[in-house]
Structure 1
């Protein structure tokens, strides 16, 4: 379902990852509503194609699906070939694909219902956002397998896709890269001062070192030594927090290297989606506002910055 487009050189072209539902799908809708040609990507072809059909029912015809597994460099390369052949450039990249990196556990009875069923229950719907979050935190756990998958998907996937599409972004006269991050990626959640300083020292940080920090976390996680170096362990899933901190660091280093591009990261807020088990208080439209604002910002503006929704904020 790749479709064909006749686009003018002035018409912007965007790629959005993890876009078959939730914030990603809403980002596609808002971009397409603003006259942008959108390449909606997802790992599952059936769900991705259905998402495009749903947008076209709203009259948004300039949306096309392309299958993408962000963890696979070859999959990212195929996407780059498609964009190059169809458009010759890329103006907007929104790296949205991410996983929480946890597994759910059932508590509260000899035969408790699966967590998905509990989330859909009338009792869950009556809870406040804070109550839902507390309820969820009691029912999730994190193992090394989930943690590794989280880093390979969130940070590794962002890097795979960005590197594959970088030549096409550089071919644009006003390219934007928007990396969807989280308030959970802020360095205040780290207890190790040396780690915080290293993540925050943009003058010394390199792409190679960001990769090394990713592997160092996984090594410490595997060996049960997260506390030794001061990785985050008390404020949520460690791997998810670190994956978002790595994305923030990667954003800053890449922006420093490619000054012609506007490369920023953004916390969309706590959004009511499947990924948050519907514990968020914001709608997907509200959550998409920050990424879309950065993607459509006028020429110039900040780069290498972190935004809390639509306001620039501190990485710490």
Structure 2
């Protein structure tokens, strides 16, 4: 049975991603910042008959927590097939250049950027032991500098100094990660699941979490001929999905 760790999976897109991968036969380690919320999510899945899922406490902004999660998983498995870096925060909007403190910017980057780097570094050795390891960094179209420079883009006016830049940095990290792993069996991609109805945006998005999660799952389960080092977005094209950096 293939295994997957999903950070921030106790709700929203991460939660639905966990459900869909469990339904596909993966054993899912549902990462949650607090164990009680993770276990509550697992109870919901077990009520649906999904028993191949387990909560694991992991706070991506706390290196000790990440190491502890890794030690826990190392006692349960010899390799990890998929890592989905899904945990993220917005920092609240609006995020104007004069009204947003650097404390807010640092807080957002700690979760959306530095947290991804720490988690990836810690779990990389377990991933390398898989025959077909996959890393999905959940990003946003708001991280595209090209689209942000295009006045015709539908989200051109949605800008901020914390959230978007944190995803731009995440995208840049993804290209480096994919490059360094280019001669291996890894597939590493930045995936934008689209503007989705979640508590992240007060449920204003037009896309349902089931659709967004399906897209993340598709990228997490790419076959040997799948792409790597790409910026893939549901918003652009549900079939090919690449958008400019």
TM-score (norm 2): 0.89
| Structure 1 partner of 2:30 | 40
1:253 aligns with 2:176: yes
- Specify the alignment match of 1:88 in structure 2: 78
In the alignment, which residue of structure 2 is the partner of 1:147? 105
Gaps of 5+ in 1: 1-10, 105-136, 192-232
Question: Aligned equivalents of 1:190 and 1:274: distance in 2?
Answer: 24
Residues 3-18 of structure 1 aligned to structure 2 (within 5 Å): 11-18=1-8
Shift of 1:312: 3.5
CA distance in 1, matches of 2:212, 2:38: 20
Q: Give me the CA root mean square deviation.
A: 1.9
Alpha-carbon deviation of 1:164?
A: 0.6
Asked if residue 235 in structure 1 is aligned to residue 125 in structure 2, the reply is no
Q: Of Structure 1 and Structure 2, which has the larger fraction of its residues in helix?
A: 1
Tell me the distance in 1 between the aligned counterparts of 2:22 and 2:61: 26
Residue aligning to 2:132: 174
Asked whether the equivalents of residues 8 and 31 of structure 2 are also in contact (C-alpha less than 8 Å), the reply is yes
Structure 2 match to 1:313: 242
Do structure 1's residue 302 and structure 2's residue 231 form an aligned pair? no
Which stretch of structure 1 is more off in the superposition, 51-60 or 182-191? 182-191
Q: Distance in 1 between matches of 2:200 and 2:169?
A: 20
How far has the Cα of 1:70 moved from its partner? Answer: 0.2
- Say whether residues 1:286 and 2:221 are aligned partners: no
Tell me by how many angstroms 1:300 deviates.
3.3
Cα offsets for 1:158-211 (capped at 9, x unmatched):
1111111000010000010001000000012566xxxxxxxxxxxxxxxxxxxx
2:122 is aligned to: 164
- Where has structure 1 moved over 6 Å in runs of 4 or more? none
Does 2:55 align with 1:65?
A: yes
Contact persistence 2:142–2:148 (CA under 8 A):
no
- Name which of 198, 202, 226 aligns with 1:273: 198
Count the aligned residue pairs.
231
Helix, strand or coil at the partner of 1:266: strand
Instruction: State the SS of the aligned residue for 1:287.
Output: helix
The secondary structure found in structure 2 opposite 1:86 is: coil
Q: Secondary structure at the match of 1:248?
A: helix
Separation of aligned partners in 2, 1:245 and 1:315: 11
Q: Which has the larger radius of gyration?
A: 1
